[in-house]
Amino acid sequence: MDQAEQLRNIIKMNHIRQRTKARVITITSGKGGVGKSNVAINLGIQLRKMGLNVIILDADFGLANIEVMFGTIPKYNLKDTIEGKKSLKEIITEGPMGVQFISGGNGVEGLANLSKVQLGNLLRGMEQLDELADVILIDTGAGISDSVLEFVASGNEVLLVTTPEPTSLTDSYSLLKALNNHSGFSKENIEIKIIANKVSNMVEGRNLYTKLNLVTERFLQMPLGFLGSIPMDEQIIKAIMRQIPISISYPNARASKAFEKMSAQLNGTMISENRKSLAEVFLSYFNRKADK
């Protein structure tokens, strides 16, 4: 029995729920260095300030951006769950203001080669996270690797972080083009919103979105949404150096107010009743990996 068939059997055995409490949002970027993880952390903190329970899943496997920026070293990571040493609930680390996160670790490259037992345990753990959180933010790696595309294609809501740099804009389009050609991607079932980071003013952010949206609509027939802009702010650098997110260390900074506004917009957005749970997102991820 191949792994794809094993996955189908696991679906039948574990009765993965079609509805879930948690809202799953994937945050990605076309290239590194655009502030994607910083966006994930500060959106998480602002949503927590609104009273929501937030868990960030660091899916940039092999790196440790979330824990470094939080200034918190986790005892365990996803590899410990995959190897059966800890349950998924046991590897959750408490971050600032009660925002929780899960470290991807550096040994998760074998996600496509898990045993039936490992897959079942992991998916059941994902369902537990659905019960613990109101919002789950998946912080993917940067670029257009297979792993990133699988995660983006597997969800329903995607935030694409870009900057005014020409290379960032080009790489964002490249990611969208690769996603459009991905076998698991469905334009009807996924909503992609742009976040313009490191802009000089709000007008530049809106123009950045308009430029990217015009190109994707014309050549990919893929309209994009716009969540908002984050201004260049020296206090972001100070916050990163202090390992205390700007939404906590400088709550009145321009960037903090921008994160607050975007989080309020996210929180006020109606979400589909047919949205995928975290378990279903991972199930789609594993299924396509196994079929390759």
With bands split at pLDDT 50, 70 and 90, how would you rate the model's confidence at 114? low
Q: For the segment 63-91, what is each residue's pLDDT rounded down to a tens digit?
A: 678 888 898 889 998 888 877 888 888 99
Contacts of residue 236, Cβ cutoff 8 Å, sequence gap at least 6? 35, 38, 246, 253, 255
Q: For the segment 137-168, what is each residue's pLDDT rounded down to a tens digit?
A: 999 888 888 778 888 888 889 999 999 999 99
> 99, 105, 102: which is closest to 42 by C-alpha?
99
With bands split at pLDDT 50, 70 and 90, how would you rate the model's confidence at 112? low
Contacts of residue 241, Cβ cutoff 8 Å, sequence gap at least 6? none
Quick one: pLDDT at residue 1?
A: 47
With bands split at pLDDT 50, 70 and 90, how would you rate the model's confidence at 4? low
Say how many C-beta atoms besides its own lie within 10 A of residue 83's C-beta.
10
Q: For the segment 207-260, what is each residue's pLDDT rounded down to a tens digit?
A: 999 999 999 999 999 999 999 999 999 999 999 999 999 999 999 999 999 999
pTM: 0.89
Q: Which long-range contacts (CB under 8 A, 24 or more apart) does 186-190 make?
A: 187/221, 187/222, 189/156, 189/274, 190/153, 190/155, 190/156, 190/157, 190/158
CA atoms within 13 A on the CB side of 256: 18
